[in-house]
C-alpha cells in the first residue's frame, strides 16, 4: 500500500460498520512491535487437570497404604530422661546438620549454616546471577576460571583442615563436573558435555547444595553408630 | 442402568436446591467448565485454563500436587489419631501402645501417618529442586518461591513437632538433640529453648506445647500459606512454561501494518 501513495499506510474505514467492522492499527516506520503469539494450546482445568491431579494423589495414596500395610512405624521404650541411647539421633531430615555438628561448634553447624541456607534459598529469585541462563564459562572466561579455581581450592582446603571428608566428597564431585564443563571444546560431539557447558552459576551452586544434602543426610542416617563413629549399615 | 443413574443425576443438578449451592450449574460446555472452577471458593484459587504441555508428567512430575496429597492424608489420619491420644506424659506412650495393640486398624493408621509425613518432607524438597532446575522461580514468580520456602520450613516444623508425640525413647532424644541446638543461638538461645520446651529440658510441658503446635498452629499456618501458594500460581500467569523456540515470538518489524 505504501508504494502507491508514498505514505507508510492507508487507513481504510468502511462506512457501514455493522457490515464490516474494521480494526485499524497505526504503525509508523520506526516502531517495532513485538507480538508474543498466543497460539499455545490450552485445556480446561476442570475436568482435565483436576482429574489427573486426583489420579496422581490416588496412586500416591495406594503406594503409601501398601507401605503402611507392610512396614510398621518404629516405637521404642517409654521416654526415659536418665537413659541416653547411643547414638541419639534427630529425625532423618536434620541428620545432615547433626553430621556437621560433629565437626563444627553448635553455633556454626546448628545456627549459622541453617540460617544461611534459608536466607540463600529466599534470595535466589532476587539476584540477577540466578536469573542468568548462560553457561558460566562462556563469557569473561579467563577471569571466571581464575575465580573458580581459587574459590574451590580455598573451600576444599577449609573442609580438609576441619577434617570434614564427608562434605569434601560432594564438593570435589561438583568441582570435577564444573571443570569438565569449563574445558569442554565448543565443537564437542557429546550431548552431556554440551549441556554441562551451558549451565549457569546458579545451577552449580544449587547442585552442590543438593549433593551435600543427600550425602550428609545419608551418612548421618546409615553410617553413624555409637559415639557418632563410622559404621556400615549392613554389618549391624 | 448407568444411563438411568446419570438421568437422575442430571435431574438432581437442575433442582432449585442444587442450583442454590452450585451456581455454575452442570454441563459440558467450556463456559460451564470454567464456572466449575470460578464459582467454587476453593477451586477459584486455580486457573480455569492450563497450557496443555504443563499436564505432561515430565514437566512438573506432579510434585506439588503430590505434596498437597500427602498433606490431605496427614490431616485425615491425624484427626483420627487425635481421637485416641492424650497429650500428657506418660499417658501419651500408653495411648501409642494402645494404637498398636488395642485400637482396630490403629497400627495401620499410625503407619500411614508416619510414612506420609516422611513422604511429605521428601516431596517438598523434591518439589523445590524441580522448580529450581526448571527456572520457575524467576520473575514474576519470585514471591511464590519465597512462600514455598516458608512452606518448606512449616513442613519441617510440622514433622519435627509430631516426632515427639509418641513419647518413646526415639522421640524424646531426637527432640533433646534438636532443642540443644536452639540453645546455641547467641544471646537468646536459652530463652528460645525455654519458650520452646516450657522448661529447661524435654518434659510434659514440652509434649503439650508440641501437641498444640502440631495439631493446631502449624497446620492452620500451612493451610494459609498453601492457599496463597496456589492462588499466586494463577496470579503470576499459570504454571511456568519454558519459552524454548524463538519462533513463537513473531516480529512485526517490517514497517508495515499487518492487518
Render B136-200 in DSSP notation, one character per residue.
TTSTTSHHHHHHHHHHHHHHHHHHHHHHHTT-BHHHHHHHHHHHHHHTTSTTTHHHHHHHHHTSS
Is A173 domain-assigned? yes
Residue predicted with more confidence, B158 or B5: B158
Considering its fold, how many domains does chain A have in total?
1
**For testing contact with chain B, the best of A20, A91, A123 (most B CBs within 10 A):** A91
Cβ of B172 within 8 Å of Cβ of A90? The answer is no
Compute the Cα dihedral for B183, B122, A202, B135 and give only its sign.
Answer: negative
For chain A, what is the mean pLDDT?
A: 86
Indicate whether A32 pLDDT > 50: yes
Banded pLDDT at A22 (limits 50, 70, 90): low
B 218-247: CB under 8 A from A? 241
Give domain B57-237's CATH architecture: Up-down Bundle (1.20)
CB proximity A235 to B under 8 Å: no
Does A52 map to a domain? no
Query: B250 falls in which pLDDT band (50, 70, 90)?
Result: very low
| B134 and A CB contact within 8 Å | no
pLDDT surpasses 50 at A226: yes
**Is the CB of A46 less than 8 angstroms away from the CB of B249?**
no
Q: State the pLDDT confidence band at B258, using cuts at 50, 70 and 90.
A: very low
A101 neighbors B181 (Cβ within 8 angstroms): yes
Residue B259 has pLDDT above 50, yes or no: no
The tens digit of pLDDT for each residue in A58-101 reads 999 999 999 999 999 999 999 999 999 988 898 999 999 999 99
Asked if the Cβ–Cβ distance from B115 to A71 is below 8 Å, we say yes
| Cell matching residue B135 | 527456572
Residue B100 is given by DSSP the state H
Look at residue A139 and tell me whether its pLDDT is greater than 60: yes
Cis omega (within 30 of 0) for bond into A219: no
The span from the CA of A93 to the CA of B123, in Å, is 12
- According to DSSP, residue A224 is labeled B
Report the distance separating Cα A100 and Cα A114, nearest Å.
Answer: 11
Of A32, A78, A110, the CB nearest to B252: A32
pTM of the model: 0.87
Buried b / exposed e along A221-230 (16+ C-beta atoms within 10 A):
beebeeebee
pLDDT digits (tens, 9 = 90+) for B151-208: 999 999 999 999 999 999 999 999 998 888 888 888 888 899 999 999 998 999 999 9
Residue A188 lies in a domain: yes
Domain that holds residue A164: 92-235
**Which residues in chain B are closer than 8 Å to A23, comparing Cβ atoms?**
259
The Cα of A151 is separated from the nearest Cα of chain B by a number of Å equal to 24
- Which residue did the predictor score with more confidence, A212 or B36? A212
Residues of B in contact with A2 (CB under 8 A): 256
ipTM of this predicted structure: 0.89
Task: Give the residue from A76, A79, A215 showing the smallest Cα distance to B175.
Answer: A79
pLDDT for B206 equals 96
Non-local (6+) Cβ contacts of B175 within 8 A are: B160, B163, B164, B202, B206, B210
Percent of chain B with pLDDT over 90: 60
Domain ranges of chain B: 57-237
Contacts with B, A 87-116, CB within 8 Å? 88-94, 97-98, 101, 105-107, 110-111
Helix axes B63-82, B218-235, angle to 10 degrees: 160
Residues in chain B, overall count: 259
Q: Which residue has the cell 555409637?
A: A226
Percent of residues, chain B, with pLDDT higher than 70: 93
User: Does the beta carbon of B31 lie under 8 angstroms from any beta carbon of chain A?
Assistant: no
CB contact under 8 A, A90 and B178: yes
A75 is a domain residue:
no
Could you tell me if residue A11 is inside a domain? no
CB atoms A53 and B89 under 8 Å: no
Is A85 within the bounds of a domain?
no
Place of cell 514437566: B59
Q: How close B120 gets to chain A, by Cα (Å)? A: 11
Helices (H), chain A: 2-5, 50-70, 95-101, 106, 113-123, 128-131, 141-161, 165-182, 191-197, 201-222
How far apart are the C-alpha atoms of B238 and B62, rounded to whole Å? Answer: 15
Residue A37 lies inside a defined structural domain of this protein = no
Amino acid at each position: 500500500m505504501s508504494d502507491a501513495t508514498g505514505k507508510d499506510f492507508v487507513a481504510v474505514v468502511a462506512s457501514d460498520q455493522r457490515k464490516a467492522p474494521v480494526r485499524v492499527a497505526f504503525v509508523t516506520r520506526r516502531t517495532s512491535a513485538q507480538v508474543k503469539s498466543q497460539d499455545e494450546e490450552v485445556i480446561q482445568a476442570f475436568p482435565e487437570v483436576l482429574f489427573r491431579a486426583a489420579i496422581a494423589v490416588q496412586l500416591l495414596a495406594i503406594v503409601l497404604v501398601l507401605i503402611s500395610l507392610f512396614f510398621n512405624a518404629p516405637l521404642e521404650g517409654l521416654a526415659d530422661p536418665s537413659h541416653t541411647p547411643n547414638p541419639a539421633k534427630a529425625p532423618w531430615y536434620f541428620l545432615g546438620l547433626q553430621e556437621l555438628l560433629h565437626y563444627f561448634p553448635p553455633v556454626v553447624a546448628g545456627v549459622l549454616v541453617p540460617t544461611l541456607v534459608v536466607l540463600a534459598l529466599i534470595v535466589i529469585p532476587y539476584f540477577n546471577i540466578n536469573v542468568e541462563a548462560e553457561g558460566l564459562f562462556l563469557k569473561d572466561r579467563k577471569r571466571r576460571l581464575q575465580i573458580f579455581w581459587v574459590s574451590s581450592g580455598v573451600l576444599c582446603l577449609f573442609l580438609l583442615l576441619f577434617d570434614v571428608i564427608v562434605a569434601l566428597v560432594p564438593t570435589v564431585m561438583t568441582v570435577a563436573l564444573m571443570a569438565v564443563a569449563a574445558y569442554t571444546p565448543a565443537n564437542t560431539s557429546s550431548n552431556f558435555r554440551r549441556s554441562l557447558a551451558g549451565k549457569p552459576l546458579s545451577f552449580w551452586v544449587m547442585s552442590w547444595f543438593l549433593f551435600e544434602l543427600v550425602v550428609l543426610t545419608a551418612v548421618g542416617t546409615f553410617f553413624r553408630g555409637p559415639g557418632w563413629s563410622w559404621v556400615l549399615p549392613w554389618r549391624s | 442402568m448407568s444411563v438411568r443413574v446419570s438421568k437422575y443425576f442430571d435431574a438432581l443438578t437442575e433442582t432449585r436446591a442444587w442450583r442454590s449451592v452450585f451456581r455454575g450449574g452442570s454441563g459440558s460446555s467450556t463456559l460451564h467448565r470454567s464456572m466449575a472452577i470460578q464459582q467454587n471458593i476453593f477451586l477459584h484459587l486455580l486457573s480455569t485454563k492450563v497450557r496443555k504441555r504443563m499436564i505432561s508428567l515430565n514437566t512438573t512430575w506432579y510434585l506439588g500436587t503430590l505434596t498437597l496429597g500427602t498433606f490431605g492424608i496427614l490431616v485425615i489420619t491425624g484427626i483420627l489419631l487425635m481421637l485416641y491420644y492424650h497429650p500428657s506424659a506418660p499417658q501419651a506412650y500408653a495411648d501409642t501402645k494402645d494404637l498398636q495393640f488395642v485400637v482396630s486398624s490403629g497400627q495401620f493408621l499410625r503407619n500411614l501417618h508416619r510414612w506420609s509425613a516422611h513422604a511429605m518432607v521428601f516431596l517438598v524438597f523434591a518439589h523445590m529442586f524441580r522448580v529450581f532446575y526448571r527456572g520457575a522461580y524467576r520473575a514474576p514468580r519470585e514471591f511464590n518461591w519465597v512462600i514455598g520456602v516458608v512452606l518448606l520450613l512449616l513442613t519441617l516444623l510440622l514433622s519435627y513437632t509430631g516426632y515427639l508425640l509418641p513419647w518413646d525413647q526415639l522421640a524424646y532424644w531426637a527432640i533433646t538433640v534438636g532443642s540443644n541446638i536452639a540453645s546455641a543461638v547467641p544471646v537468646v538461645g536459652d530463652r528460645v529453648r525455654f519458650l520452646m520446651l516450657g522448661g529447661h529440658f524435654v518434659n510434659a510441658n514440652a509434649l503439650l506445647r508440641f501437641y498444640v503446635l502440631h495439631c493446631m498452629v502449624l497446620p492452620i499456618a500451612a493451610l494459609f500459606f498453601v492457599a496463597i501458594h496456589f492462588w499466586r500460581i494463577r496470579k503470576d500467569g499459570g504454571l511456568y512454561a519454558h519459552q524454548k523456540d524463538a519462533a513463537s515470538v513473531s516480529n512485526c518489524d517490517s514497517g508495515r501494518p499487518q492487518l
